[in-house]
Amino acid sequence: MTKKLRWGLIGASNIAREWMTASINGNPDCEVVSVYSRDAERGAAYAKELNLARSFIDLAAFLADPELDAVYISTTNEKHEQEAVAAAKAGKHILCEKPLALTAESARRILEAAKEAGVVLGTNHHLRNMESHRAIRDVIQSGQLGKITSARIGFTVDLPEKLARWRLNDPTTGAGVILDLTVHDMDLLRYYFGADPIAVTGMGITSGNAQHGIKDNVMTIWQFPDDLLVVCQDSFMVPFGGTAVEIHGTKGSISGDGILWQKPQGRVDVSDAQGSHEIRVRHLVPYDRTITDFVAAVRGTGVPSVTGEDGLRALELALAATVAIETGKTVRL
């Protein structure tokens, strides 16, 4: 396949408008040509704004477009399975937003449909494609920090009003921080350490901003192999605190400040017996690498940055955290 990969957007979303369309169109092998939205007026306005050739309100018609090769799914979480399975059956390659689905069983059905159709499936966990996190992983893997003994992730943000609607008030969509932020933590930690956690415990609260028992402030503790403990704080209730990563080992520590975002920014510092110094990072838009790796997978020369299997595993871990919080017990994995 040497022609351009022609993409359609499933969902007229903010992330597609602000990030993904630019990253797709910025790849010389790609072009966004259409959008599907259940709201005809929104879809038409969206297509005009992004200079897309076509907009659809019928999913089957959208997927039947013979010029369409791949789809990017960024609808609310409960719609992912239906849309991804339909795309696979239509022979379209799939890049799906995290979480891959609401349940592990649903995610497995997406994987099975993609495998049966022979299409590429990727999950849009962007953090492992940020240069800051790649630098942190390189230091961990080099052994410079010695044996890793503990870590902390502070994914603490103030949810913008344009993103807060269903994330704080609609439990049918998988609302709350666990499937929005904790699931990102899990993919990132698996990327850092090359291992899965073996146990989780945690607590979570529903603030005055959230409804229906939706947890918008959660803390979890994860045990990884080789006596590694990780604390994750995920919150929509921190307007001024920023985000942070800390990794501590027997020979040194590495920290990242302001690096749990979509925008490429922040700094990374290492502290050890020689003192403290910054690791200079050339910040790049993480979604550009996501698309480059996805195209390589379609061409048969690589794999997605985050596979469907990776997306399933991050989802399973996030759901285990939910069980731990709801039961007040440690969940063995």
Q: Where in the chain is the domain with CATH 3.30.360.10?
A: 127-284+316-332
Computed over every residue of the chain, the mean pLDDT equals 96
Tens of pLDDT, residue by residue over 40-78, are 999 999 999 999 999 999 999 999 999 999 999 999 999
What class, spelled out in words, does domain 5-126+287-306 have in CATH?
alpha beta
Tens of pLDDT, residue by residue over 201-252, are 999 999 877 888 899 999 999 999 999 999 999 999 999 999 999 999 999 9
Q: Is the pTM of this model over 0.85?
A: yes
Tens of pLDDT, residue by residue over 273-302, are 999 999 999 999 999 999 999 999 999 999
Q: Where in the chain is the domain with CATH 3.40.50.720?
A: 5-126+287-306
CATH classification code of 127-284+316-332 = 3.30.360.10
Find the helix packing angle between 183-193 and 131-142, rounded to 10°: 40
What amino acid occupies position 270? V
